[in-house]
Amino acid sequence: MSASKTILVIGGGVIGLCVAYYARQKGHRVILVERGTPDRDSCSLGNAGMIVPSHFVPLAAPGMISYGLRAMWNPESPFYIRPRLSPDLVNWGLKFAQAATPERVAKAAPVLRDLNLASRQCYIELAEQRGNDFCLQQKGLLMLCKTEAGMHEEAEVAKQANALGIPAEVLTPEETAKLEPNVQMDIAGAVYFPKDCHLSPNRFVAGLTRQLQADGVTFHWATEVTGWRTANGTVHGVVTAQGELHADEYVIAGGAWSPQVARGLDVKLPMQAGKGYSLTLTQPKRLPEICAIFVEARVAVTPMAGSLRFGGTMEITGLDEPINPARVRGIANAVPKYFPEFTPDDFAGVQPWRGLRPCSPDGLPYIGRFKRYANLSVATGHAMMGLSLGPITGKLMAQVLSDEPPEMDMALLDPRRY
């Protein structure tokens, strides 16, 4: 390992925390800068809490563009791109279209498989070390299909998964009910991915934050990066309203705000924020044991320590945080179609949560060093897999920062690809 360094991580979501954790494990001094307060509501907290080896198909997949165009006319649709005069959106859209091909997806699938499986192992190790304080459940994932067409598509995905070494089993409605007897389902069938897991993201983030503080990581809360000090291809400091901060290495892990953080550095980081929503029932009338996804509705369902969370939508609207009631209704209205014991009235009075996911054009995260600066790296762009890929992202970044060869091939994750 290289000599100990001072690492400055910008961003206190699950990615930034994991980078800080694994860098600290390597013996580095770590400074973490977060624009929010300690009780921040980051994108890491209200998500579905899933670890998903099953998700080896990136967001930029064949058919997504046509699906998005059709969905634009439905205010409750799970995928929406708001038209606006934005050169960044146009640039991102063109790159998305170039990436949404069978050939690109075929190259990306093994990478996402390896990342998710490695991250799953990291979570298992972290659960053992921390007494499983974040409620990791290794019970798999059910892809629940309402229609025969959906069932046919998911059966094809199951074939691809098995070919990649990801176990997947096609189930009849009766077989699904036997596997998950705790809730009544109205479905045409399901695909079961036994390697998938779920956890409580709130508990994971809170526990990891406490551990980092105990391990000597310095936190700067409510501190927004407003500028940079650079010279001769090296970053010499970051400028904040509270003063300048200095380190040997700098990591941008600011989620959807990463392009804003990088402003003035003359680096390319194509990104769009994808807004997602969730609704959590604290006393659900039924509590399944296995997390699930309603395939056609694109709604995720996760049991979390007695509560039940329903999350969904991908709304490409820029850094726009207000809640769109129509998208929230879309989630609530989808639930009874798959779980007939529930009604939209069950969600009356439930406060919706929303978060902005960082979406790269090709559906793969940015992990690694920028070319322009010798000591500047980035870890962002994970879209809906930020929690799933958090630990392995942190582990890979710690290896890069320690000048060690990373344990996985990171060529497709290189931030210099654009």
CATH classification at residue 284:
3.30.9.10
Positive or negative CA dihedral for 139, 143, 148, 154? negative
Q: Over 60: is that where the pLDDT of 67 sits?
A: yes
Residue 72 has pLDDT above 70, yes or no: no
- pLDDT class for 39, splitting at 50, 70, 90? confident
Does residue 1 carry a pLDDT above 60? no
Q: Between the CA of residue 382 and those of 112, 131, 205, 212, 346, what are the distances in Å?
A: 11, 27, 17, 22, 32
Q: What distance in Å separates the CA atoms of residue 136 and residue 304, rounded to the nearest whole number?
A: 10
- pLDDT band at residue 41 using 50, 70 and 90 as cut-offs: low
In a domain? residue 163 = yes
Average confidence score pLDDT of the chain: 94
- Residue 98 in any domain: the answer is no
Query: Is residue 182 one of the residues assigned to a domain?
Result: yes
Instruction: Give one word for 16, left, alpha or beta, with left for phi > 0 and alpha for psi -120 to 50.
Output: alpha
pLDDT above 70 covers a percentage of the chain that reads 97
Range in 54-63, 102-111, 133-142, 372-381 the model is least confident about: 54-63
Note the pLDDT tens digit of each residue in 384-409: 999 999 999 999 999 999 999 999 99
The closest of 60, 73, 157 to 102, measured between CA atoms, is: 60
The answer to whether residue 326 sits within a structural domain is yes
Residue 302 lies in a domain: yes
Predicted pLDDT of residue 79? 81
Q: Which pLDDT score, from 0 to 100, does residue 69 have?
A: 67
What DSSP line would sit under 134-183, residue for residue? T--B---EEEEESSHHHHHHHHHHHHHHHHTT---EEE-HHHHHHH-TTS
User: From start to end of 232-290, where are the E strands?
Assistant: 234-240, 243-245, 249-252, 272-281
Q: Is residue 349 part of a domain?
A: yes
Mean pLDDT of 99-107: 95
Taking the CA atoms of residue 198, residue 203, residue 204 and residue 208 in that order, the dihedral angle to the nearest 10 degrees is -170
Q: Which residues contact 178 (CB under 8 A, 6 or more apart)?
A: none
Range of the domain at 65: 59-85+134-197+271-359
DSSP-derived 3-state class of residue 306: coil
Condensed to tens digits (0 to 9), the pLDDT of residues 237-251 reads 999 989 999 999 999
Does residue 120 belong to any structural domain of this protein? no
The pLDDT > 90 percentage for the chain reads 86
**166-187, pLDDT tens digit by residue?**
999 999 999 999 999 999 999 9
Residue 381: its pLDDT value, please? 98
Q: Is the pLDDT of residue 253 over 90?
A: yes
Please give the model's pTM, rounded to 2 decimal places.
Answer: 0.96
Whether residue 71 is predicted with pLDDT greater than 80 in this model: the reply is no
**pLDDT tens track for 209-218:** 999 999 999 9
111 in a structural domain: no
Give CA–CA dist 414/378, Å, rounded. 9
Q: How many structural domains comprise the chain?
A: 1
More confident residue, 38 or 40: 38
| Positive or negative torsion for Cα 253, 259, 262, 265 | positive
The pLDDT of residue 2 is 67
